Chains A and B, each alone.
Chain A
Amino acid sequence: MSLLRLDAVYKSFGTSEVLRGISLEVHAHEVVALIGASGSGKSTLLRAINLLEPIDDGQIWLNDQDISDPRVKVDAVRSRIGVVFQHYNLFPHLTVLDNVTLASRRVHGVDRATAEKSALELLDRVGLAPHARSFPDRLSGGQQQRAAIVRAIATNPELLLLDEITSALDPELVGEVLALVRELAADGTTIVMATHEMAFARDVAHRVVFLDGGVIAESGPPSEMFGSPREERTREFLARFSDR
């Protein structure tokens, strides 16, 4: 049984078709890396999965529930999926701790003491316990992104979506964030991530999916995708990365 299944998902903005029939299956505890050029539809796909972007056609199944059905309560679905954004999007008027416990308290009805206790444990695990009472702006980019990841996993979501979470970071801060993702993957978290970190995708992902022009051009285990890609456009795309 797959945890997430997409059946021929279409999405366009105005006249530009961003997703042109994406079908994808993600199993529990699997880490899937979405790669592809900017504008290839990675971010839109992640947003569609989280119902932040209504799709034009197709179906999305989460644990055998059709979440693209308009009768489904979107807030309930979103509370089962954690998302981390490129620009962290921590709420600047709330402390790190309040950011992390917000969903537990307001969506899942956990009382403040319990929510803060487990949040502090998580923050401690990622080395942010000393900053729990700080406001996000006092933290470095890497710390903010780790806090954002903790916020996303604080409610034990069934699925974690990572949208180019290291793209806005200074190179020296990328490592600390990727180390945390690596740990989550080792713990068995199901992750779908859009990324430009090819070395990281090769290392951590179980499967790499190459998006090109709104379709899945090729997908497979990282050794195959990076070692001997079948498609010409995959080779071209990867060549641009290895040049650097």
Chain B
Amino acid sequence: MRFRPFDETRPPSSIELGRRVFRRRQGIRSVILSLASTLVFAVVVWLTLVNTPGWAAVQQTFFDPAHLVSAWPRVFAGFVLNLQILFFAVIGVAIFASLLAIVRTLRGAIFFPLRVIATAYTDLFRGLPLIIVLYLIGFGIPGLRLTENRIPPEVLGTVALVLTYSAYVSEVLRAGIEAVHPSHRLAARSLGLTHAQTLRIVILPQAVRKVTPALMNDFVSMQKDVGLVSVLGVVDAVRAAQIETASDFNFTPYVLSGLLFVLLALPMIRLTDWYSARLRGREQIGSIV
């Protein structure tokens, strides 16, 4: 990925060879140092923890392998439901947040009412705690008796997530849209592209690249907030853990569901880092100092 400023076919000078040996030695040295310091730190934390007076009891209650195994099927089944909710919520947020962001960047008097509604919406839903939105949607919508049958709480939970997260994500997208230099809009319009084409082909792709880290932050945040749908009675990983815990007051199932959420987040975080680095390498010259 990194540019090699020298010609590969030309043998490097002895000075450059010396520099490389030095750099390699430095590299090995810092790796050893960091490994050692991490190890020492981990050992200190571990020793402090196991020497606390209550450690035995805490270990029994939170980190019991037997409970881990017995809770696995139910918690994992719940986690699969979390994944399904997440899948639909992400699609919903992507669409709704883009619409909100676009409406907020529209200019012209005709769009004034739309702009006001979008602004009021993002203000309201960024202020409202997610759990209250979940209650309002989860218990309020069924109370309206719009449908004959009961709407599944999973669906209502997904709707609540989409409503809340779209408000956040739309603001991130709007920041991205406004960060694209106006000259690009000008250039696109001068080619005869319409306003919508300019937005879709020229502005949005650049905007999303600029705010990818922030978007991923919201995405990871939503990944774990999916666990909050449990307050509506959906048997997801958190709810399943709660049910398991209720039988004998061992909290290991909670730790298990927590671990599952972390494991879900990690690959996404790495993947985004890799993807943004790839785009940067392709579209921007030089390395980052």
Instruction: Mark contacts of A92-127 with chain B using CB atoms, 8 A cut-off: 1 yes-contact digit, 0 otherwise.
Output: 110000000011001100000000000000000000
A197 to B212, CA, bound (A): 42
Is the Cβ of B187 less than 8 Å from the Cβ of A103? Answer: no
Is the Cβ of A135 less than 8 Å from the Cβ of B194? Answer: no
Select which of B183, B186, B191, B284 is within 8 A of A103 by beta carbon: B191
Q: Which of B167-175, B200-208, B254-262 contacts A (4 or more CB under 8 A)?
A: B200-208
Shortest distance between the CB of A75 and any CB in chain B (Å): 5
Say yes or no: A93-B205 contact (C-beta < 8 A), given A81-B190, A107-B191, A135-B282.
yes
- What's the tally of chain A residues with a CB closer than 8 Å to chain B? 26
Q: Does B285 contact A (CB under 8 A)?
A: yes
Q: Does A87 contact B (CB under 8 A)?
A: yes
Select which of A85, A87, A90, A103 is within 8 A of B193 by beta carbon: A103
Is the Cβ of A50 less than 8 Å from the Cβ of B191? Answer: no
Say yes or no: A78-B190 contact (C-beta < 8 A), given A89-B184, A91-B202, A106-B201.
yes
A83 to B183, CA, bound (A): 12
Is the Cβ of A52 less than 8 Å from the Cβ of B183? Answer: no
A85 to B183, CA, bound (A): 9
Is the Cβ of B187 less than 8 Å from the Cβ of A75? Answer: no
Interface residues on B, range: 20 to 34
Say yes or no: A93-B283 contact (C-beta < 8 A), given A52-B186, A85-B183.
yes
Q: Does B189 contact A (CB under 8 A)?
A: yes
Name which of B186, B187, B201, B205 has the most chain A CB atoms within 10 A of its CB.
B187
Q: Does A138 contact B (CB under 8 A)?
A: yes
Is the Cβ of B285 less than 8 Å from the Cβ of A137? Answer: yes
Q: Does A23 contact B (CB under 8 A)?
A: no
Interface members, chain B 180-229 (any A CB < 8 Å): 183-184, 186-194, 197, 201-202, 205-206, 209
Is the Cβ of A102 less than 8 Å from the Cβ of B191? Answer: yes
Q: A78-B192, A103-B193, A106-B201 are in contact. List 18 more A-B contacts (CB 8 A).
A: A52-B190, A75-B189, A75-B192, A76-B192, A78-B190, A79-B192, A80-B192, A81-B190, A82-B190, A92-B283, A93-B205, A93-B206, A102-B191, A103-B191, A103-B192, A107-B191, A107-B192, A137-B284
15 interchain pairs, CB-CB under 8 A: A52-B186, A79-B191, A83-B187, A83-B190, A90-B187, A91-B187, A91-B202, A91-B206, A92-B206, A93-B206, A102-B191, A103-B191, A106-B197, A107-B191, A137-B284
Show the binding face of B for A, using Cβ within 8 Å. 183-184, 186-194, 197, 201-202, 205-206, 209, 282-285
User: What 9 pairs between A and B have smallest CB-CB spacing?
Assistant: A79-B192, A89-B187, A103-B191, A83-B190, A107-B192, A78-B192, A135-B283, A93-B205, A89-B183
